[in-house]
Amino acid sequence: MNSLLNINNLTAGYGYGPDIVRDFSLTLNKSEVKCIIGPNGAGKSTLLKSIAGILKPRSGEIFFDGEKISEKEAYQIMRLGICFLPQERAIFPNLTVAENLRMCAYSIKDKKVAEARIKEAIEMFPVLGQRLKQIAGTMSGGQQQQLVYARAFTIKPKIIMIDEPSLGLAPSLVEQTFNHITQIASSGIAVILVEQNAIRGLETAGYGVVMDLGKLVFEKPAKEVLQDQSLRELYLGKALEK
């Protein structure tokens, strides 16, 4: 119970449909990076949505910093410090970079703190500082991606959950994105990463978590998963063919 995040026997699904996440348990400590891999439809996105409070669990409990969050609303969970970047990570394309950063920092009551956070985010992603007045949608894909992470950083979350960060990105941006994730983690934020590019995801993470049919198959240090030939063949097969 001492972990930052404790997921205990979580079961979740949609409407009257079947259970998608089934009896799933996981912990996450401060500064830890865990990468969840598994086939399409395994329930990875559903798991993240349940943690974020977008989907209410059917059973099981989730604790954050010792506080039960599995019955809280999504906005409350975000305020507590869990930031969810869904697959469709939108920025406001018609607003300037500065406005995008401010929109996010608005959730912080103290204006001075909000300004300081924006400043810090810009220090982390200096390109944005040179483009504060630019309309965000007119920046390059890589710059927009940096804005996504900078926005998340302004809320100073304790946990960031990122669903498929490399999906749909040009190959040149994939590497940059994983570097940003490493950068975020080294600032003390714990990360749950869901990633199709299993090898790159595991290289970024401390632990690899394999999920299939809504269940936890195993969790191991990411290095072990990468080095174990039979595990590689079983779970990273697709990634290896590339």
Ligand X SMILES: Nc1ncnc2c1ncn2[C@@H]1O[C@H](COP(=O)(O)OP(=O)(O)O)[C@@H](O)[C@H]1O
Q: Which residues bind ligand X (CB under 6 A)?
A: 14, 17, 20, 38, 40-46
Backbone angles phi, psi at 143, to 5 degrees: -70, -40
> Shortest Cβ distance from residue 44 to Mg ion (Å)?
5
| Other C-beta atoms lying within 10 Å of the C-beta of residue 232 | 17
Residue 21 CA to its chain's centroid (Å): 18
Residue of closest CB approach to Mg ion: 45
Choose from ligand X, Mg ion, none: what does 46 bind? Cβ within 5-8 Å by kind.
ligand X
Comparing CB distances to ligand X, the nearer of 13 and 108 is: 13
Is 166 near Mg ion (CB under 5 A)? no
DSSP string, 201-223: HHHH-SEEEEEETTEEEEEEEHH
Binders of Mg ion among 24-63, rule CB under 5 A?
44-45
Nearest distance in Å: CB 172, ligand X: 25
Nearby residues of 147 by Cβ (< 8 Å), 6 or more positions away: 91, 97, 100, 101, 125, 128, 136, 139
DSSP conformational letter for 242 = -
Closest-CA residue to 28 (of 48, 12, 46): 48
Residue 41 CB, shortest distance to ligand X, in Å, is: 4
- Nearest approach in angstroms of CB 220 to ligand X is 19
Look at residue 20 and give the partner it binds from Mg ion, ligand X, none, a contact being a CB closer than 5 to 8 Å depending on partner kind.
Answer: ligand X
Phi, psi of 155 (to 5 degrees): -80, -5
Report how far apart the first and last C-alpha atoms of the chain are (Å, whole number).
Answer: 40
Q: Which is nearer to Mg ion, 20 or 152 (CB)?
A: 20
Nearer to ligand X, 42 or 210 (CB): 42
Q: Which is nearer to ligand X, 81 or 86 (CB)?
A: 86
> Taking the complex as a whole, how short is the minimal distance between the CB of residue 162 and Mg ion, in angstroms?
11
Q: Residue 147 binds which one of ligand X, Mg ion, none, with CB within 5 to 8 A depending on kind?
A: none
Q: Using CB under 5 A as the criterion, which residues of the chain lie in contact with Mg ion when the complex forms?
A: 44-45
